[in-house]
Chain A
Amino acid sequence: MRFIFKTSYNQDIQLFRDKVDLGWYVALVVAVLAVPFLLSDYSVGETSWVFIYGICGVSLMTLVGYTGLVSLGHAAFLGIGAYAHAYFLEHGMPWVPSVVLAVLITTVCGFVVGLPALRMTGLYLSIATLAFAVIIQEVFSHWESVTHGFAGMPVGPPTIFGFSFAGSREFYYLCLFFLVLALWVTRNLLRAPTGRAWIAIRDSEIAAQSMGVNLAIYKSMAFAYSAGLMGLAGALFAHKIAYLAPDIFTILLSIQFLLLVIVGGLGSLHGAVFGAIFVALLPPLIAILRDGLPASFADLSTSTGIGLFHIVGDAIGNFLKKPGVEAGIFGLILVLVILLEPLGMYGRWVKIRVFFSTFPLYKADSFKRQKSYMKTERLR
């Protein structure tokens, strides 16, 4: 067990708790930087999805996990960022200004969508964002002069200052850079008055207001900031997917983002990254199982001479080929997480860490939630 002896206020403001913590993060960064040299091109490509989803996760985490405003329409912001970026690139704008403009446009859209958030809370706000997402999807399909509608919009690989990021390794590093940037600025906000104001709004609007937080400004700020990050993710998303069509940015994608932050663990940036790993890597994992399981079970069957293995393998393979299985598995995991681990993967991670740091004195009840009956619904 490690105790941190605090001697200055700065220690509570640092990005990393102490040198040991910093050491772990350096090790993580080295590992992540080394990945492209260890994995195949395909795997590196799949891993860059983790980073793009990671940015989406950070975006939604600030809004849902920290400000407590649930949005069901974040795929729309992703789409706006992606289409804006693709449009500017198509018209010959260099990469950097194009991304900056795309982020600015989504930020403004986020601010506008955030305005009704001042009057609506909870479910009503979610429905409003849902409606927004549906409208935006219609705009994508009908504003053909910009989006080319259902004909689709091809997006080439990014070229920044003459350097091409066409290779999957180069693109991996580009996405990684932006994820780290997004994490850093968000962490900065969260340890500053703005982040505290967001957390205050999440936990008690009335107290936040009485302490001097302007609810209107901070709520729209959260929406705008979250949308801006989504726009950034959208720009990278456009390159990654290479071909934009309106039916990519559906409600299902918005729900997947929500799933990401809930499974990852609401109220922590670690959770956003954990959730991104989960959401980005589950589909390829299912695909690998679908293609690989029947064959390996067949091998097992011939080597052991038990025909049952063959049948079981084929059954699993056929099941995974059924349409909608992926969504079903996502849904099942979401339900299980909410039931068994409301704090998500990050919550589980904290428990494991505490288990090892207090070994062998860990008590299973350390994290048992205390029931409280005091939360008032008055003045809401």
Chain B
Amino acid sequence: MSLFAAEEIAINFGGIKAVDGVSFAIEKGEVFTIIGPNGAGKTTIFNLMSRIYDPTSGRLKFEGQDITRVAPHRIAKLGIARTFQNIELFEHASLLQNLLLARHAHKKSNFFSELLFLPSVRRMEIEHREAVEQVIDFLDLQQYRDTLIVNLPYGVRKVTELARALCTKPKLLLLDEPSSGLNVEETEDMAFWIQDIKNLLGITVLMVEHDMTLVSSVSDRVLAINYGRPLAMGTPREVQSHPEVMRAYLGG
């Protein structure tokens, strides 16, 4: 059984078919990449998967469970975490607070115990902190712990988003253009991290990406889409040389 399966998902915005019958299955432990020209519907698929949009038709399955109608805030608890294309961090909070918030799905304290900050709340907070510190170690963010996000450079913000997603302890990680806005060196770091996430942490990764070097170096399988329709699926090499994909990118 695959970890995640999308079955013929489609969504219309008015008359525009942003996603029009896309199916794919992500196996546990692989890095699966969706590529496509601008406006192909890649981010829309992400938003469907994180339940921000309701699909017009089709079904989403995670670990065999139908999640097509699950509320968006329950997705994190199920084990799906995501990053955003245009960084959506909590800008006026410190990096540490951002990462701690990602532990929200695992919160066990209730409002009244928090009101008095009972010892149980403190214990939980320290547990969350320990989990967060592991991720900080993993991504080398130690020096930025107490810095407000507004004061961080773009590259670090991008890594922080990745860290925040990892802090939810996901089984499936959705990365929306992890390399956009990064320089060559930072992109290489990102590639190493994605491989580490897959190999060391055992997290399955679904990625939307334009940088074909990054895609070929980390992806196990690639799905190419255009105008909301699937074009080709296979290894990075196969998809890149597929005539339909070349036509979509280069025209002709």
Q: State the A residues within 8 Å of B (CB).
A: 9-10, 12-13, 185, 188-189, 191-197, 199-200, 202-204, 206-215, 221, 267, 369-370, 372, 374-376, 378-379
Contacts and interface: CB of A to CB of B under 8 A. Distances in A.
A192 B101 CA distance: 10
B126 A10 contact: yes
Given A10-B122, A206-B52, A379-B52, A212 B90 contact: no
A193 B115 CA distance: 11
18 contacts: A188-B114, A188-B117, A189-B111, A193-B104, A194-B114, A196-B97, A199-B101, A200-B104, A203-B89, A206-B52, A210-B50, A211-B76, A211-B164, A212-B104, A213-B104, A267-B92, A369-B150, A374-B86
Contacts of B193: none
Interface in B102-128: 102-105, 107, 109, 111, 114-117, 121-122, 125-126
Interface in B66-85: 71-77, 81-82, 84
Contacts of B90: 199-200, 202-204, 207-208
B81 A210 contact: yes
A212 B76 contact: yes
A202 B90 CA distance: 8
Given A196-B104, A210-B81, A212-B76, A378 B86 contact: yes
A190 B116 CA distance: 11
A379 B86 CA distance: 11
A212 B125 contact: no
A191 B105 contact: no
Query: For B93, B154, B168, which residue has the most chain A Cβ atoms within 10 angstroms?
Result: B93
A366 B97 CA distance: 22
Contacts of B84: 206-207
Given A211-B164, A212-B76, A376 B109 contact: no
Contacts of B100: 196
B129 A12 contact: yes
Contact of B111 (A194, A199, A213): A194
A157 B164 CA distance: 52
Contact of B73 (A204, A209, A267): A209
Nearest to B145: A12
Query: For A189, A192, A202, A267, which residue has the most chain B Cβ atoms within 10 angstroms?
Result: A192
A374 B129 contact: no
B86 A211 contact: no
A221 B112 CA distance: 12
A199 B97 contact: yes
Given A212-B105, A212-B168, A9 B111 contact: no
Contact of A199 (B88, B93, B130): B93
Contact of B104 (A191, A197, A203, A372): A197
A209 B80 CA distance: 12
B87 interface: yes
B117 A374 contact: no
A374 B104 contact: no
B88 A207 contact: yes
A194 to B, nearest CB: 5
Contacts of B92: 199, 202-203, 267
B185 to A, nearest CB: 20
Interface residues on B, range: 35 or more
Contacts of B72: 209-210
Contacts of B211: none
B114 A189 contact: yes
A159 B122 CA distance: 37
A111 to B, nearest CB: 13
Query: For A202, A206, A212, A221, which residue has the most chain B Cβ atoms within 10 angstroms?
Result: A212
A13 B122 contact: yes
B104 A210 contact: no
A221 B74 CA distance: 18
B208 to A, nearest CB: 15
B47 to A, nearest CB: 7
Contacts of A211: 76, 81, 101-102, 104-105, 164, 168
Interface string B46-64: 0100101000000000000
B91 interface: yes
A253 to B, nearest CB: 27
A369 B151 CA distance: 9
Contact of A188 (B75, B101, B115, B164): B115
Contacts of B103: 193
A222 to B, nearest CB: 11
B224 interface: no
A269 to B, nearest CB: 15
A211 B107 CA distance: 11
Contact of A191 (B71, B111, B116, B117): B117
Nearest to B82: A210
A7 to B, nearest CB: 13
Contacts of B74: 212
A195 B127 CA distance: 17
Contacts of A197: 101, 104
Contacts of B115: 185, 188-189
Contacts of A13: 122, 125-126
